[in-house]
A and B are shown apart, each in its own frame.
Chain A
């Protein structure tokens, strides 16, 4: 285990996890901002199926 099994370990894990969660989610959000540009690549006609 990389973290100590005490309050310090719990605090460290919580802070690291909370910050990284924001970073990852913000990263996914950033990628989603680019999604409208995908439509310039082409179109999938739904009535085709």
Chain B
């Protein structure tokens, strides 16, 4: 006689139902909200679809996808072994024109000025009891550079990767809401109306030499972040040499999409209830916001100073673009400028500090990695 009760019990014990916890259910709901925001509200779907789905799957007990041997586990290995962030940079390099940065070298300094937020968040995190390595990882959220935040965190505080990557990418998507009030508060109406001089023409030869020079400088002076910047510049060289069109197309589209999907799955797979549902997560999210606000403010203040020195030739709104997050921050500068003067096209001027911000974040992260002995 078959004991159906025992059979059903055996079957049930093989499912996740028996061991699902309240934390798992909360995380599944968070994953579902991410999917809703990504698909329903079209709010960074490239990131939220992968992260949301992986978050749901990871919190279903027994699925095993995020456990050793599971597919998501190997996706995370790509992050842990620092393979995916440099490949993301390869794709970004292949789709980026560094001409605006080469054309206006004086604005490059804004790429460093807009990173005060990193250090405010770092000191804040230390005061709140995080270790120095954890505080550095939290601070780098203020660099508004997702791959760089992941790259630094994996080496300094890998257990904080889900919180930091979610905070970094969320705030990057929210920059059009976070930055404008700070920008308006720190500038006058007349400053926001300043129309800047057209940048000079940048030749093909300059655009080809630029990535080579940057690769040499970074490998020479900042080896900890050399993999990221080298790949960024390799992607850019592939684009600018005009001989590798098919490769540039593949790297900036197909490869970037595959790597982004793998990266988002990897991030989502780390969002386990016991790791994510903590008071630490809330503190990290608040500190991330502090970092973005201070970074925006310091960039705008530095641009105001440069405007005074130059005799009114620089629109201070481009200062906030130094926070990196290409091209979102540059678009925000342009949009706030157009609210005051519809004939003011700040986008190309803001792209210079915006691209410099990528290097600024990489420099800050590289110095942290070097000084903390990793």
Contact = CB atoms under 8 A, between A and B. Distances in A.
Interface of A: 1-7, 9-11, 13-18, 20-22, 24-33, 35-36, 38-39, 41-44, 46, 49
Contacts of A2: 371-373
Nearest to B368: A17
Given A3-B132, A44-B205, A17 B221 contact: no
B261 interface: no
B203 interface: yes
Given A38-B205, A49-B243, A29 B106 contact: yes
Given A25-B111, A42-B205, A46-B242, A3 B367 contact: no
A17 B373 CA distance: 14
B144 interface: no
A32 B101 contact: yes
B291 interface: no
A3 to B, nearest CB: 6
Contact of B112 (A5, A21, A49): A21
A46 B136 CA distance: 44
Given A10-B122, A49-B243, A44 B203 contact: yes
Interface residues of B, number: 47
B364 A21 contact: yes
21 contacts: A11-B123, A13-B371, A15-B119, A16-B371, A20-B367, A24-B359, A25-B108, A25-B109, A25-B356, A25-B360, A28-B214, A29-B105, A29-B356, A31-B217, A32-B108, A35-B206, A35-B210, A36-B206, A38-B203, A38-B209, A49-B243
Contacts of B208: 44
B29 interface: no
Contacts of A44: 203-205, 208
B367 A21 contact: yes
Contacts of B368: 13, 17
B203 A25 contact: no
Contacts of A39: 203, 205-206
B205 A14 contact: no
B219 interface: no
A24 B363 contact: yes
B222 interface: yes
Contacts of B360: 21, 25
A46 B242 CA distance: 8
B123 A14 contact: yes
Given A25-B356, A32-B102, A44-B204, A17 B108 contact: no
A5 B131 contact: yes
Nearest to A17: B367
B123 A16 contact: no
